[in-house]
Every structure is written in structure tokens, then in C-alpha cells.
Structure 1
Amino acid sequence: MNLQYLKAFYVTVKANSISKAAKLLHLTQPGLSMQIQSLEKELQVNLLNRSNKGVELTEAGRVVFDYANTILSLQENIERDLENLKTDKKYLHIGSCKIVGEYALPCSIYIYKHDNKDVDINVEISNSSQVVENLLDRTVNIGIIQGNVDNKKIVTEKIASDRILLVTSLPLMKTNITTDELRKLPIIFREEGSETRKAVINFLNQYDMDIDDLNIIYELNSMEAIKSSVLAGKGVSFIPELTIKKELKDGALTKIDIEGNSIACSYYIAYRKDHELSVYEKDFISFIKSSKRGFC
């Protein structure tokens, strides 16, 4: 399969326009159309339906598009890794869940870089499920996730324990509530795919409750946005303790126990089983598992 033609098809779908994709790829529109037609001829399928509204994937096109993202990512990763070998460059591309990536990892990287100035580090922050996807499609070689993952292709090692706390900034009559009282509270919740969300749902299931039993006023995909909302008195939320240590200590936030319980969670370092870790990748994993890591 011609990867140049595959990229032409992929960019066209993302841009939803032959003309826009042609500009992005620095091609003429006829030249771009010819590349897509050549790919269709090679695969012996029709990939796109073209109209005045843009382009629409055929059933075969959807299959090829799903694979194109992985194939093109692999190509970029191969080129990146080979270039690093040529220059003898030490490069760590880490995927991290938002909790660790935004609140704990910056201090760890600062400490690690102090003794490893020759290692370039890039951190891509997303939710844990996306980190796992990035590991599997080889966009990153090392990931940090909240919660474990049941995947035979992924190795995980626990690096830290935490608690997910229900917190508020408003004056409280009670710091220990029942599940019936929980149903009435205005809750700001994490987005679909978040491990914090999954952990809370699993906790609710112990009391024969689910997400529909909660009074969720809105959902956000940023823990910082959720924390700001709670501090502003907009509602209460389930927030990992790692991200609110200062606010709890200062009294800006107060935790609320549910039936006398809090929700346990853990963070894991993750990597592909088939990936041969470099010396400096092994060194970073050992560092992040140790007490030297200095989470913020």
C-alpha cells in the first residue's frame, strides 16, 4: 500500500474537503484526487462519496480510515526513532493521565532532569483510556495511568496509591452522609472514559446505585476546571486527593465521607510487553517507582 496515497485519503477525510486537503498537502486538487483514486484502485474498493457538502466515507472507507490513523502514526514513530538513533538522542515520550500529568509529574520531571540533562522529555496528557490507546498504537512507549488495565499486550506496575474524595467549598452541617443524601447533592462529574468516573461508578454499584441516581449538573474533562467550579461553590465533586492536598490543608475544600467511606484508587506505570525498553527508559521507570520521584 502506498503510504503517500493513504495520507492523502486520511487528510481529505479529516478536512472534509478536497480543496482544503490539497492546500494542507501542498498538492493541486486534481493531483490529490488522482492519489485517492490510485489508492481505491489498489484496494479495489470505493472509499469516498463526494458531494457539494464535502466527502463522506463509504463502508470500506470507514475501515481503511480507522487503520490509516494507526499506520500513519507508526510511520511517524519509525522515522522519529530512527532519527534519534542517528543522532544518538535520548528521547522519552510519555503519555500520562491528567491527574498525574497535570499535578504530580512536573516535579518528578524536574528532579529527573537534574541528573539526566541529556534526556529530552515530552509528556502527552489525556485520560487513562487514551494513554492506553497511545501505547497500543506506539505513539508513546511509556504511560502513566489511573487504575489498572486488563490487556495482555500491556505491562503495568503500581507506583502510588490515592483516594478519590467527595469535596465541597460550602459550609457543611455534616461531613458524613448517607447514599440517600448523596443523591440530592449537585455534582460536577468527570467525562466518559475517565478512570475517576469509573472508580466512582464502581463505588456506587456497591450500594445498588448508578450514575443515573446522581444529581449531575454538568460534566467536565478537566480536573482543574472541576476544582475551580467546586471552589467557586457551583457544586460538589469527586476529586483525587493528589490534586487537592493544598486546598484540603488550607481549608478551602472539605471532604465528605459517604457511609463513612472514601474511594481508593492507584496509579500505574505502563508499557507494551513487546517493547524492548532502552536503558534510559528503564531508568525512568525505576525512578518514577521510587521515593525519589517527588510527586508535587
Structure 2
Amino acid sequence: MDFKKYKTFQVVADTLNLTRAADLLGYSQPTISLQVQSLENELGVSLLGRSGKKTFLTPAGKLVKHYVDQTFALMEEMETELRKLEHPHGLLTVAAPEFYCTQYLSLILHSYISENPNVKLQLFSCDSNDAMKKVASNEADLAIIAGPCDSPLMETMPLGKEDLVLVATSELLARHELSELLERYPFITYKSGSNIQRLVNECLQEYGFTPDKYIACVSDETIKRTVMYNTGIALLGAGLVEEELRKGTLAEIHRFPGKIETNMVMLKKRLAEQNIRSFAEIVQRVWKEWD
């Protein structure tokens, strides 16, 4: 199949003017005429007709033009997709809990865009469970999550581990004995069924503490703010409360070393995609520097 002849016919069919087509393609008019005639002989049909000085498409010409347009459109789409394999391009969507978005991903996104200016990034702030669901449904290309991912469809890349810290405000601890504080005030925690809630339950069991009263929140930041208002106690990642512990606003009751495993997850079938692979490489590199 001589694509050159089909391309020539497409331009002629678009312009219906041999002189104009010759200018657009950089050929002489006789060359244009020969290529169209050769295609007509090859297909065994007449593609163009003339009425006075006007050129028109025959019924066969209209049919061939329809399929030629589709063919070249598909070829352009194929070339575009092939370029994406060579260089990151287009939209990349990342899902992660609010803490990771504010503390880590802002810097990573800046580094990624600096290296890959043709990629448009979109960030979803949601809990780890919802982040994994977005990846599974292709609403997100990858996710940063707290805790494990058990899905056999997902590729999990460990990024690091973080302590969980049982905290209350220093003011509450100063006013109450620890036993009274644990008994009297509610435990502020994540909504039931969330990924990190399983880790929290393990820590509470290890500590021998079974709260009678709970307040369920949707994000780390909401839990921390609720604690800061002297509402109760909570188990939070050390990174989230590091500054408050240093300033003495919050007090550490107990620490559970390395309990939160931070992971990056993506669908196994999409691992070869250049956007995902390039972003994952930068995340792993930057995270290692932080550790």
C-alpha cells in the first residue's frame, strides 16, 4: 500500500483543486495527476470527475476519502501514543491523604513538573482507602497511601515507615492523671474501615487501651485539630505532630515505632506507562532523600 498516493488523494479531495494540492504537497501538478491516476488504476474505480472547470468526488471517491481520513487519523493517534512512550506527556492524576499532599507531594510535584513540563498534574486529596479505589477504577494513575495494599491487581512500592504517636494536649495532661484522661475523654480516630484504622486498632490492643467513646474523622488534619481543642486523645503519625510535640503544645503519651508503612500503589497492568514510571522514580528518589 503506497501511503504517498493516498495522502495525495486526501489533499486533492480536501481542496478539489489540483494546483492548490500541488502547492500544499510541494509537488508539480502533473505529479499530482499521475499519483491520483495510479491510485484509480490500483483500485479499479474513478475517484474524481470534472464538470466544466470544477473538480468533484465521484461516489467511489467519497467512499475512499472517508476511509482514507479514518486511516490517517488513526496513524496520527498511533504516533501520538508512541511519543508518550518516549517522553511523559498529557495528564497524570495522583491520589493521597491530605497529610501526604501538604507535607510531601507539593515538593515532589514541583520536581516532576520541572523535569517533565509536558505533563499536566492533578492531585486528589482523600483517605488511603479512597485513593486505592481511584487507582483501581483508573480515576487516578497512582496513589500514596498509609498502610498496606492487599489487592492482587496493584503493584506496591514501599517508601518508608513512620511512628504512630498517642497524643493529647499538654494542657489536658497537666490537668488529669493519665488513667483519668484515658477514661474520661473520647478517642479521636479515623472513620471505621479506613486503611490506617487497622493499624490504630493494633496499637491500642498492644497498649492495652480499649476506648469507650469515639469521635470518627475523615482526615489526619481534622483529628489533629480536634485534639488541639482539648477534645480528647488520638493516635497520629509522628510527622504530622512533630512540630506540636517540639513546641510542647501536644504531649506524647506513647510511641509505636515504625507502625505506619507508606506505600505507592498503581495498577500492575499500567506499570509500563511512561507518565506513571517517571513519576514513581521521582517519588522514590525524593522520599529516599527525606529518610
TM range (shorter): 0.5 to 0.7
Gaps of 5+ in 2: 1-76
**Whole-Å separation in 2 of the counterparts to 1:99 and 1:284:** 19
Offset, 1:112:
2.5
Offset, 1:291:
3.4
User: 2:268 matched to 1:273?
Assistant: yes
Per-residue CA shift, 1:29-63, capped at 9, x if unaligned? xxxxxxxxxxxxxxxxxxxxxxxxxxxxxxxxxxx
Amino acid at match of 2:259: A
Q: 1:288 aligns with which of 271, 276, 283?
A: 283
Per-residue CA shift, 1:95-138, capped at 9, x if unaligned? 21333124321222123223332221101121111122212222
Summarize the Cα distance change of 1:292–1:224 in structure 2 as closer, same or farther, 3 Å threshold: closer
What residue in structure 2 maps to residue 205 of structure 1?
205
Structure 2 counterparts to residues 1-12 of structure 1, below 5 A: none
Structure 2 counterparts to residues 1-296 of structure 1, below 5 A: 85=81, 89-171=89-171, 172=173, 182-206=182-206, 213-257=210-254, 261-262=256-257, 264-291=259-286
Amino acid at match of 2:199: A
**Whole-Å separation in 2 of the counterparts to 1:291 and 1:131:** 21
Amino acid at match of 2:277: K
Retained in 1: the 8 A contact 2:98–2:125? yes
**Whole-Å separation in 1 of the counterparts to 2:208 and 2:168:** 24
Summarize the Cα distance change of 1:142–1:220 in structure 2 as closer, same or farther, 3 Å threshold: same
**Whole-Å separation in 2 of the counterparts to 1:97 and 1:127:** 5
Summarize the Cα distance change of 1:230–1:276 in structure 2 as closer, same or farther, 3 Å threshold: closer
Summarize the Cα distance change of 1:205–1:166 in structure 2 as closer, same or farther, 3 Å threshold: closer
Retained in 2: the 8 A contact 1:203–1:263? no
Gaps of 5+ in 1: 1-80
What residue in structure 2 maps to residue 29 of structure 1?
none
Retained in 1: the 8 A contact 2:162–2:257? no
Structure with the higher fraction of residues in helix conformation: 2
Amino acid at match of 2:159: I
CA RMSD between the two structures: 3.2
Give the secondary-structure state (helix, strand or coil) at the position aligned to 1:192: coil
Give the secondary-structure state (helix, strand or coil) at the position aligned to 1:284: helix
**Whole-Å separation in 1 of the counterparts to 2:152 and 2:211:** 34
Amino acid at match of 2:148: N
* Large movers: runs of 4+ above 6 Å: 292-295
Offset, 1:269:
0.7
Bigger Cα Rg: 2
Offset, 1:163:
1.3
**Whole-Å separation in 1 of the counterparts to 2:128 and 2:237:** 14
**Whole-Å separation in 1 of the counterparts to 2:163 and 2:170:** 21
Offset, 1:160:
1.9
Give the secondary-structure state (helix, strand or coil) at the position aligned to 1:215: coil
Retained in 2: the 8 A contact 1:160–1:267? yes
**Whole-Å separation in 1 of the counterparts to 2:111 and 2:245:** 25
Offset, 1:185:
4.2
**Whole-Å separation in 1 of the counterparts to 2:148 and 2:268:** 15
Per-residue CA shift, 1:4-38, capped at 9, x if unaligned? xxxxxxxxxxxxxxxxxxxxxxxxxxxxxxxxxxx
Offset, 1:207:
5.9
**Whole-Å separation in 2 of the counterparts to 1:284 and 1:214:** 41
Retained in 1: the 8 A contact 2:161–2:258? no
Amino acid at match of 1:290: R
Summarize the Cα distance change of 1:102–1:194 in structure 2 as closer, same or farther, 3 Å threshold: farther
Amino acid at match of 1:161: K
